[in-house]
Structure 1
Amino acid sequence: MKFERFAFIFSFFIVFVAITGAIIYMDKQNETDTFLQVTVEDGDSLWSIANKFEKSTNISKQEFVKWVQDNNDIHSSIIKPGEVVIVPVEKDQYYQVEQLASE
């Protein structure tokens, strides 16, 4: 009787953790969908990308680089040409500024 109760509670806990993890993962995916994606070009670094978008964001370059690393699962400062990274610049805001600049 005790074993069955323990098994039920343990199973419930495992299901709860799995559902919570899935919700958090899906929420993070949806959150990053609103941000600009940049394809890394030859000679680019996280710092040079931060310089490129300096006027499009309100955070420091260090915070920019940290955000890019955290949200793209980059564990070093090395990025390779052809990689696509998400940057902390909202798509809508960036394209509105680009449109105004071209007019």
Structure 2
Amino acid sequence: MKKESLSYILAFFVVLLAITAGITYTNKTDSLENYHQVEIKEGDSLWSIADQFQDKHSISKQDFVKWVQEKNHIHSTTIAPGDIVFVPIHKEEIHQFQQIASE
């Protein structure tokens, strides 16, 4: 009986550890602080922003818009002037592009 109880306790802790590891892994999100921010201006849309940054990313416009919606928790394509959204372009890429353009 003692050996059997020890087995149950050990199994419980293994399952508990597995659940904890699973929750920790699934809660990891991309840190948006590494991505470029865009302030929305009058007349902007997610599609026009995708066009604006077309030469700085390698994904389709549809995937660009979908990424922006998901990461910024936007549930429609409507955005308002003054809103700040993250776009799927790393800050380093924008910085490098601006350095080349200024030279």
TM bucket normalised to smaller: 0.7 to 0.9
In structure 1, C-alpha distance between the alignment counterparts of 2:23 and 2:85, rounded to whole Å: 23
Larger Cα-atom Rg:
2
The gaps in structure 1 that reach 5 residues or longer are 1-8
Q: Deviations over 1:1-43 (max 9, x none)?
A: xxxxxxxx8xxx7xx57x9657655x3252x111001110111
Q: 1:21 to 1:82 in 2, by over 3 A?
A: farther
Within the alignment, does 1:77 sit opposite 2:77 as a pair?
A: yes
Shift of 1:92: 0.4
CA distance in 2, matches of 1:88, 1:76: 18
Count matched residues: 89
Residue 28 (str. 1) matches residue 6 (str. 2): no
Distance in 2, matches of 1:35 and 1:79, equals 19
Q: Within 5 A, what are the aligned runs for 1:53-72?
A: 53-72=53-72
Distance in 1 between residues matched to 2:71 and 2:64, nearest whole Å? 11
Percent of pairs with identical residues: 43
Aligned-residue offset at 1:98: 1.1
Deviations 1:33-92 (A, max 9, x none): 110011101110000000000000000111100000011111100000010000000000
| Partner SS state of residue 29, structure 2 | helix
**TM-score between both structures, scaled by the size of structure 2:** 0.74
Inter-partner Cα distance in structure 2 for 1:76 and 1:21 = 29
- 1:95 counterpart residue number: 95
CA distance in structure 1 between the partners assigned to 2:37 and 2:96 by the alignment: 16
| SS, match of residue 75 in structure 2 | coil
TM-score relative to the length of structure 1: 0.74
- Residue number in structure 2 paired with 1:37: 37
